[in-house]
Amino acid sequence: MEDKIGIFLCECGPNIAEKVDFDKVKEAIKNLKSVKFIGQHKLLCSDDGKKYIVNAIKEHGLTRLVIAACSPKQHELTFMKVCEEAGLNPYLFQMANIREHCAWIIEDKKEATEKAIQYIKSAYRRVRYHEPLEKKEIEANPDVLVIGGGITGLEVSLALAQSNRKVYIVEKSSELGGKLKEFNKIFTSMRDAKSFVEDKIKLVEQEKQIEVLKESEVEEVLGYFGNFIVKVKTQSKESELKVGAIVVATGYELFDGDSLAHYGYGIDDVYTALEFERMVKTGKILTKKGEPPKSVAIIHCVGRKECGYCSGVCCMYSIKFARYIKEKMKDAEVIEFHRGLTLPDKNYEKFYKDTKALGVNYIYVKDLLIEGNTKPIIKYKTEEGQFEKQVDMVVLAQAMVPPKGIDKLAKTLRIAQDKSGFFIEEHPKLAPISTSKEGVFIAGCAQGPKNIKESIVQAGAVAGRILSSLVPGKKLEPEVRVSQISESLCIGCQTCIKVCNYGAIYFDEAKRVSRVNEVLCRGCGNCVASCPSSAIQLKHFTDREIHEEIVEATR
Amino acid sequence: MGKLLEFKRPVEEGLKELLKTLLEGGKLKAVFTLTKKDDAVFYTLIKDAKKLEETTPLLPLMPVNAGKLLSRLTLKESLEEPIAVVIRPCELHAFVELIKREQGSLENFLFISMTCGGVLPIDNIAKNELDTKLNKYFESIKNVKVPDEVRPACKMCQNFLPYNADMVVDFWDKDINKTCRIFVNDTGEKYLNGLGFELKNTNQGLDYEEEKFKNLLALKKENEKKILESYKIEEWGMDGLVKIFGKCVGCHSCSRVCPICYCNLCEFDSDQYEYAPSTYSTELEKRGGVRVPPNTILFHLGRLTHVSISCVGCGMCEDVCPVDIPVSIIFSGISKEVQGLFNYTPGKDIKEDLPLSTFKEEELNEFEE
Amino acid sequence: MNKLISDIRELLKKALDNKVIDALLLPVKVPAGDSYSWVILKDDKLLEKASPIPPVISVQGARAISSLTRRGKLDFKIATFMRPCEARATIELAKLAQADLDDVVLITFDCPGAIELKKYTEKPEEVEKEFSELMGNWESDVIRTICKMCDKFTCVDDGFATDLHIGLIGLNGKMAFIPRTEKGKKFLSGLGLKSEENLNDWEKKSRELIEKKRNKRKELQNKLKPQVVGLDALSKTFAKCINCRICRSVCPICYCRQCYFDSEKLKFTPDDYLIRAEKSGGIKFLPDTLLFHLGRMTHMALSCVSCGTCEDACPMDIKVAQIFSIVGDNVQKLFEYVPGRKLDEPLPLTVYKEEEFKELEV
């Protein structure tokens, strides 16, 4: 069937008309093969302009369009809708930007006109190779899987359940509540941690919409946003869950590296943060010999150098520790050895000052090492010089790190981790709770060290996002401009699979070729760039289409 | 052919003069012809008449079959303005065969060919003895003898008079340093109109009845007989094929340089002929040994089946073979017989359909017998 | 050399007889006696005609293994005897899912080099004789130039991944069995052989030779550089290329079904070519010879093992292997990557290292 191409020139009021000589343009394009209509209009994006296009398409039976006007960023969608209105597939159209790229930046009319002609010819040449693409719709499952039953996981689940969504919580251990249930108190309110968490747990257990799977782990994740199939292993039994979205709320562990020995771990009465919290919960703070310590040192930044980041929470919980000690033993000497205090919240400075007022010492150190046989001796360096101090007890404020074995989950979910092992958000500022895999969200310490308040805020954000994007009954429209693999050209080297961030390509063992899951594909083109034989092409951005445009533009 | 253009100039100079005049006179958009530069020989597409001076249109070397190139030139679109091409008969015939397969367009070409004496194998291009060999070559041309230095395929080629050329340069039996003779048909004449060239009527035929060409044809037939007899292809059978193609490394270059092999992805490069592990197991059990990669002879027989009806005997295949298998002798030898079966001469008649797509009811009777 | 070859044949026969492996993949002399081809064999008679160390590389061994195992694992065990460059290319192909080495025992040997294929085709008997006299001469003049400059002809210091390596350097005709993996050890013990304990002589002489060869490589590459560095020089060197693509089809690393440079995307209209001809007065037709070679370098240089099969095959005698090796060496150095060194070492193409971006930012 013959192609009938229509080229529309927009004057854009005076914007383009004054700088580009349309008569010359029309002269240059009138003999192009298959061009059956050339139109000019004052303002194509206006109602009248749009009607003009629709009428021209219908009257001349146009099969492809080139619209020379403003930037596609401005009106590509507008004109795509116009095509649809006129019964033309919206992908059989190409815009040539003769406003931002020609009229608005070139003073000389002759030059601007020449460039505009080149742009229009390039767009014309490209559009001849466009393929009609059909929008797809898929049913979406509104249920949600939450991995991790700590405070973040509990918060997300409650928010979702209260909006009537079915939620599954998969928890690795035998209890809900995460680390928080082992704490004594929460800063800055110094409220009881256990009751805080237990309240949440009770709400979750009462909630009919929430199903909890304890001692369970996620084994396999198949499918895509709106249609995930998750295999879960509970002790040795396997079960299958069908959900539309997944929230990763796997929390953290405390730094446990070899350098703990540098801080005296292993010497009597040197405790990790969690060990200390547990001790405080028993009601008494006692040394190994069973006596209350007369002097306690709290060491900040344990593991900070090795991890390469500040966890942002340890200074606050160290101050909290100081309070614990002062509450139980008013006269005990409490020294906090720190490398600069991190107190970013509006309430933190006061918390610190009040604690200091209880008689806690704060020493800024440049270097610190703990040795000793029976009692810990702190050897430290400040700006004033080198010092030594023997104390009865040392508490180490460790950095927060990702839980051991989290790599396995990252691989199962096919989401990325940063070099510390935390899951990477899609964008640190603009998309801090979603991942590169659509439908998989991260919240709480899974995303990076943070305090309880921030975790709860993220939990709310994730719940909100899921509630708005995964609506029962609402269909999802996946990206249409996706990759496609030519079976005859693919040689099965799987390079594309290795570079796909979205897990959208899988290997067909029988045919020994790779295949694209069009719903997961986001059209980023990484695979296209990496395939040496160009067996994989991006729809609407095939090598052919791009080449034609470039070859014409560089003639 | 209609008319003759003759002038007392060395033949290549005369031809270049003609091309220059056509180009500068606005009759042509460009000229396509051979050029030698240092130790490289390649076809060139020339727009600037001055660059014509560097060309070597009649150099008897064929780095690539020009039919393939003209097909690439006009694959996407036909020419909008005329281009003159100087190519050998087999290259022109190959182009016509490709046209029949929709792999190009004849529009706006001015075909200039020659009464061909053959070409030297390409490994001569970079050698020091090239000049000596060329001298000997042109000596033979003058004496209407088949030059010794040419490709085996050229030695036995019996289609050295081009079909469908608009101008034909003839230099057998004349001293190429003194005379330039170009036969011109009606189309050619139209191009030369108004450019000041004097065209004479001529009785001399450009066909195999003309005495000198008749003699040459006889010499070629003799060569063919001798060469084919030394190979005895008809006695080969499977064993003979195995012997000849034993050293084939499966590079498929013969296919890549062949003008008739135009497929985007040769089926012998596709996954269709790959052996599954189970196939290797079975064959290994049956025969005790399997050559890897497999399908060496299948490739050649398959390719022969596909190209033989249009094989123009250019000899490119044998030139590029890294292990010196006499591919062109086998292919042109067998192709000639296949073409004989269908009474088909590749490149001769543009309107003649390929036997592959023609159905003649009476041929079925041959099977019934 | 002939004695060595028959000793190895004996070994391999034993491996078959003792059912250590089910079949062998070896170069076998073709019926006409004018070349070698890889054959997967069980038959003793075929084994008699096999040469584990042929004088030429007719088909790169990696291509043979790939053809054998591309579509999946074999359901029987095999052993193959390959030159180090062939084994390295095999490892590279395995990384690209073009070969499966699970049931393959890869055996390599200290390689004295190979002779030009064209020379062999012309005079097979003469070359056979020349090659048989190479035993013990690790710096021969008769081998290909690309072999003269090869520094990876032995696996001392973990040069390349192999299951079993046969050491020959500095051992006066003796064979030293050097297993490098469990598979290799099992193979040896299945033959009742012991792995060589005292490798001092071999290591010392090998390292000396490697040093010499490395210097030779530098020397020859420096000599070649003026012919290929800079667009003018490179254009001149590749001007005689006839675009036959044989370098690509024989290269083991070029595994694509259809080369990008032969695809539809690079087929243009007459006008496109004419406009280019206008700009410079005249163009080579078809143009873009260099595009193909530079493009091929971009695609395969990281895995180039300098086997020289491309140069052997080039009908225009362009020093393809030597040129591509210059690029290959430099590019591999940039990524600290040695093709064929380790099976589980991923190709740099698919490895993302954030700090590398900083090099671009500066």
**Nearest Cα to A249, choosing from A336, A180, A298?**
A180
Helix/strand/coil (H, E, C) string of B3-53? EEEEECCCHHHHHHHHHHHHHHCCCCCEEEEEEEECCEEEEEEECCHHHHH
Chains with 3 or more CB pairs under 8 A to chain A: B, C
DSSP A152: H
- Lowest mean pLDDT, pick from A166-170, A375-379, B232-236, C133-137: C133-137
Average pLDDT, chain A: 91
Q: Which residue of B has its CA nearest to C246?
A: B253
Which whole number is the average pLDDT over C303-330?
Answer: 96
**Residues A335, A396: one domain?**
yes
Q: Is the pLDDT of residue B1 over 70?
A: no
C260 touches chain A (CB under 8 A): yes
Which whole number is the average pLDDT over A466-476?
Answer: 88
Q: Which residue of C has its CA nearest to B63?
A: C242
- The answer as to whether A17 is a domain residue is yes
- The answer as to whether A546 is a domain residue is no
- Flag if B265 and A488 touch (Cβ within 8 Å): yes
Q: Is the pLDDT of residue C361 over 80?
A: no
Please tell me the number of Cα atoms within 13 Å of B69 on its side-chain side.
26
Q: Is the pLDDT of residue B369 over 70?
A: no
C27 pLDDT band (50/70/90 cuts)?
very high
Which of A489, A494, A534 is facing C97, going by the closest CB pair? A494
**Residues A94, A31: one domain?**
yes
For tokens 């089910």, name the residue.
Answer: C22
CATH number at residue A275: 3.50.50.60
Q: Is the pLDDT of residue C331 over 90?
A: yes
**Residues A406, A395: one domain?**
no
- The answer as to whether A198 is a domain residue is yes
C73 touches chain A (CB under 8 A): no
How far is the alpha carbon of A501 from chain C, nearest alpha carbon, in Å? Answer: 11
- Per cent of chain C over pLDDT 70 is 99
**Residues A197, A216: one domain?**
yes
A428 pLDDT band (50/70/90 cuts)?
confident
**Residues A279, A368: one domain?**
yes
A31 touches chain B (CB under 8 A): no
**Residues A319, A423: one domain?**
no
Of residues B173 and A387, more confidence is placed in A387
Q: Which residue of B has its CA nearest to C39?
A: B291
- From A434, A469, A504, the end of a domain falls on A469
- This prediction has a pTM of 0.80
* Complex ipTM > 0.90: yes
Whole-number pLDDT of residue C163 = 95
CATH number at residue A68: 3.40.50
**Residues A241, A261: one domain?**
no
- The answer as to whether A348 is a domain residue is yes
**Domains contained in chain A, number:** 4
Whole-number pLDDT of residue C290 = 95
CB C233 within 8 A of CB C227: yes
CATH number at residue A522: 3.30.70.20
Per DSSP, the residues of A374-398 read SS-EEEEE-SS-EEEEE-SEEEEEE
- The answer as to whether A219 is a domain residue is yes
Helix/strand/coil (H, E, C) string of A351-363? HHHHHHHCCCEEE
Backbone angles phi, psi at A170, to 5 degrees: -105, 115
State the residue range of the domain holding A390.
256-401
**Residues A113, A23: one domain?**
yes
Q: Is the pLDDT of residue C170 over 90?
A: no
Average pLDDT, chain B: 92
Whole-number pLDDT of residue A472 = 87
- Lowest mean pLDDT, pick from A396-405, A481-490, B1-10, C59-68: B1-10
Q: Is the pLDDT of residue B70 over 90?
A: yes
**Pairing label, strands C36-41, C23-29:** antiparallel
Instruction: From chain B, pick out residues whose CB is under 8 angstroms from the CB of C122.
Output: 324
- From A133, A157, A174, the end of a domain falls on A133
Helix (H, G, I), strand (E, B) or coil at A520: coil
- Whole-number Å distance between alpha carbons of C244 and C263: 15
CA dihedral sign, ordered C273, C278, C284, C287: negative
- The answer as to whether A271 is a domain residue is yes
Of residues C11 and C357, more confidence is placed in C11
Whole-number pLDDT of residue C352 = 79
- Summarize pLDDT for B334-363 with one digit per residue, the tens: 999 999 999 999 999 999 988 887 877 777
Q: Is the pLDDT of residue C72 over 90?
A: no
- The answer as to whether A552 is a domain residue is no
Whole-number pLDDT of residue C246 = 96
- Summarize pLDDT for A135-168 with one digit per residue, the tens: 888 888 999 999 999 999 999 999 999 998 999 9
Best of C66, C261, C350 to disrupt the A interface (most A CBs within 10 Å) is C350
- From A401, A423, A440, the end of a domain falls on A401
How far is the alpha carbon of A543 from chain C, nearest alpha carbon, in Å? Answer: 6
Instruction: From chain C, pick out residues whose CB is under 8 angstroms from the CB of B278.
Output: 75
Q: Which residue of A has its CA nearest to C92?
A: A493
Which of C70, C260, C266 is facing A532, going by the closest CB pair? C260
- Flag if A492 and C70 touch (Cβ within 8 Å): yes
Whole-number pLDDT of residue C362 = 58
Q: Is the pLDDT of residue C321 over 70?
A: yes
Whole-number pLDDT of residue A237 = 92
**Residues A234, A338: one domain?**
no
Whole-number pLDDT of residue C157 = 83
Instruction: From chain A, pick out residues whose CB is under 8 angstroms from the CB of C70.
Output: 492, 512
- Flag if C37 and B291 touch (Cβ within 8 Å): yes
- Summarize pLDDT for B86-125 with one digit per residue, the tens: 999 999 999 999 999 989 999 999 999 999 999 999 989 8
| C-alpha B140, offset from chain centre | 20
- Summarize pLDDT for C268-283 with one digit per residue, the tens: 999 999 999 999 999 9
Average pLDDT, chain C: 92
**Residues A34, A53: one domain?**
yes
Which whole number is the average pLDDT over B141-154?
Answer: 93
**Residues A120, A169: one domain?**
no
How far is the alpha carbon of C104 from chain B, nearest alpha carbon, in Å? Answer: 13
**Residues A448, A489: one domain?**
no
C275 touches chain A (CB under 8 A): yes
- The answer as to whether A547 is a domain residue is no
- Flag if B46 and C277 touch (Cβ within 8 Å): yes
Which whole number is the average pLDDT over A208-212?
Answer: 95
CB A230 within 8 A of CB A241: yes
